[in-house]
Amino acid sequence: MSVMTVYGDSISGNCHKVKFVAERLNLPFRWVETSVLKKETRTPEFLALNPVGQVPFVMLADGRGLAQSNAIMLHLAHGSTLIPDEPYERALMMQWLFWEQYSHETVIAVRRFHRHYLKKADSEIEPSLLPRGEKVLTLMNDHLANRAYFVGELLTLADIALVAYTRFSHQAGFDLKQWPQVRAWVARVEKDLGVESALP
Ligand SMILES: N[C@@H](CCC(=O)N[C@@H](CS)C(=O)NCC(=O)O)C(=O)O
């Protein structure tokens, strides 16, 4: 029997999202390590799979391919409690997924990559990423002041998408002790997902 193949980089939060959802839902998969730093996303073989040249990319068991972490999560989690049934709650979950890609990942993940992986000094990193990251974390902290999860009462894809890079905030230069609700939520979601905490 063929299983889904996940092309992913172990250092990538976007790729972790796919792994977290597949493991949570007991979906069998094969992981093919595809390193961004080693430019394995730019080989002719990989570009033939995903012309965008990015991971995560999945080849479903039936041979159809899919890219974009949040699209992959939506496909894998169809019919599960990770996607609320109620239309308004489902739309709220989507609201956070879009925000994550446009306003969160582009700040926290990018700053982490430059600081932690490319080993750049803070002075060499785009200066606006620092205040933008603080704003992102403050918005999340305020939202979590009176709730355990981003949408409704249960863990949803919104939490999985947002936790993927928030748990590595320290590597991006943000100390989550300044945003205690966010820190507590990260620990809660990591526990729900059964993953070892990345929090320092
Ligand atoms: N919006 C995409 C972003 C994917 C992305 O940026 N992937 C990075 C790793 S986290 C990548 O493959 N970069 C390689 C490159 O751009 O050359 C998603 O959510 O899947």
Task: Give residue 90's pLDDT.
Answer: 98
Instruction: Give mean pLDDT, residues 60-71.
Output: 98
For 18-41, what is each residue's pLDDT tens digit? 999 999 999 999 999 999 999 999
* CATH label of the domain that carries residue 58: 3.40.30.10
71: in domain = yes
For 101-121, what is each residue's pLDDT tens digit? 999 999 999 999 999 999 999
For 128-168, what is each residue's pLDDT tens digit? 999 999 999 999 999 999 999 999 999 999 999 999 999 99
Q: Containing domain of residue 150, as a range? A: 87-193
Closest CA to 34 of 60, 51, 55: 55
Tell me which of 76, 101, 119 is where a domain ends. Answer: 76
Give the chain's domain count: 2
pTM tops 0.95: yes
Q: Ligand 1 centre from 198 Cα, in Å? A: 21
Atom of ligand 1 nearest to the CA of 55: 12
Whether pLDDT at 1 is above 70: no
Atom of ligand 1 nearest to the CA of 67: 20
The Cα–Cα gap between 149 and 37 comes to 33
Q: Looking at the structure, do residues 72 and 97 belong to the same domain, yes or no?
A: no
199: in domain = no
Q: State how far the alpha carbon of 24 is from the alpha carbons of 17, 86, 162, 189, in Å.
A: 11, 21, 16, 12
